[in-house]
Amino acid sequence: MSDLVDGEEKETTQKSLTSTNDEITQDEKSQNFFNRLNLRYSNFKQRTSNKLDPIAEKFSPLTSFLKKRYLRYAISSILVAFVIYFYVMYEISRGAETVKILFRDTNTNHLVPLGLVLAFIAVLYVTWDDNIFKKYRKPGLYVVLLTTIFYVLIFSGIDTYLFELSIAKWLTRLTGLIVPYTLRFFGLNVTSIEWNEARINTFIGLGEPSKTPGLLIDPRCSGIHSMTIFIFIFLLMLFEARKKIHWNHKAVGVTIIGILGTYLMNFLRITIVMLTFYYGGTNLGESVHNVLGYVLLVIWLPIFWLFILPLAEKGRIFRKKKAKEMEASRDDITKIGESEEKAQSENSEKDHLSN
């Protein structure tokens, strides 16, 4: 009997070792490309560090002063306040050539780049050797990068090429179908849904008590902007986490979640915009339309980085398996203890009856 048990244990161990070796081989194959990138990136960091370290030593008294927590928090808060101020002034003065900033006329198109520079400095400064905010440095930098890409897409005219892609037309058609039926489901008076193949838009007619007779959903509402930005930043996220990612179905699943989540953010944006036009009128609807897409994407990206991307990390998978094994072993120990206590109580009852 013991030989049979030993044989089963050996067979189980051999199978687990074989599966482990297969996983290691798969990981080694998937890491070949990234190993070369890691080497080049490490060499670049080493060269940069060698050049900057002597300069940092000269300014060490100043850096120790600037690293003080409350000073960093105060200055970063001021910088963020200026970023919000620039953004609000840009939205208020959209279409105007100049706007008065701190008693000085400033080109309206310069407000976004100025805000991005200040936001970049604020993120780096507030997370500088900080135990509380250090883990939010990368999500914060991704938000700054997101805004930069969004600004380039809008003001460079590159997005016009995106609108001509088949995926943009397909997303426009899909959004033009899902949004009005969702509004109808919640009781709004949607009178008509008209798809125009030539102009690639959907007209959604709205009846009483709507304050707007109807709205158009065109490629700008398709989510192609947010999808392009997400894919670009997601590739950077993968490169950043290349050593931690388990390159199998987990990574594929995280990618699908990211793309679907990005589209759902756009669907939520269009639905909320339609509701504001319906109940609040044109002025409120346009104000919400101008800012809501960016706000939702800023919320979604850190959520994806902090909570969803780690699902594909090797350490997380190992920790989950280990936790499950420990929980199962604790349950087994509890059951054994309960059965022993039950047996002892039964034996004591029998002894009592016999006496």
Given this model, what pLDDT does residue 195 score? 92
Given this model, what pLDDT does residue 180 score? 92
What is the mean predicted confidence (pLDDT) over 262-284? Answer: 92
Question: What are the DSSP calls for 169-222, one per residue?
Answer: HHHHHHHHHHHHHHHHHTT--EEEEEEETTTTEEEEEE-TT-SSSEEEE-GGGT
pLDDT in tens, 66-116: 888 889 999 999 999 998 888 888 877 777 888 888 778 888 888 888 999
Given this model, what pLDDT does residue 229 score? 85
pLDDT in tens, 145-163: 888 887 887 777 777 888 8
Report which residue type is found at 111. L
What 3-state DSSP class applies to 31?
coil
Residue 242 pLDDT exceeds 60? yes
pTM higher than 0.75, yes or no?
no
Reading the block at residue 163, the tokens are 């609108």
Q: CA-to-CA distance for 113 and 121, rounded, in angstroms?
A: 13
- 187: exposed, middle or buried (C-beta count within 10 Å: 0-12, 13-18, 19+)? exposed
What is the mean predicted confidence (pLDDT) over 272-285? Answer: 91
- Spatial neighbors of 309 by CB under 8 A, at least 6 apart, are 237, 241, 254, 258
Residue 298 pLDDT exceeds 90? no
- Spatial neighbors of 135 by CB under 8 A, at least 6 apart, are 306
Report which residue type is found at 106. T
Say if CB 212 and CB 282 are below 8 A apart.
yes
Q: CA-to-CA distance for 13 and 5, rounded, in angstroms?
A: 12
Which one is predicted more confidently, 138 or 19? 138
The strand ranges marked E within the chain are: 98-101, 104-107, 190-196, 201-206, 214-217
Report which residue type is found at 23. E
- 266: exposed, middle or buried (C-beta count within 10 Å: 0-12, 13-18, 19+)? buried
Neighbours of 307 (CB within 10 A): 9
Given this model, what pLDDT does residue 79 score? 93
Given this model, what pLDDT does residue 333 score? 62
- 259: exposed, middle or buried (C-beta count within 10 Å: 0-12, 13-18, 19+)? middle
Q: CA-to-CA distance for 162 and 139, rounded, in angstroms?
A: 26
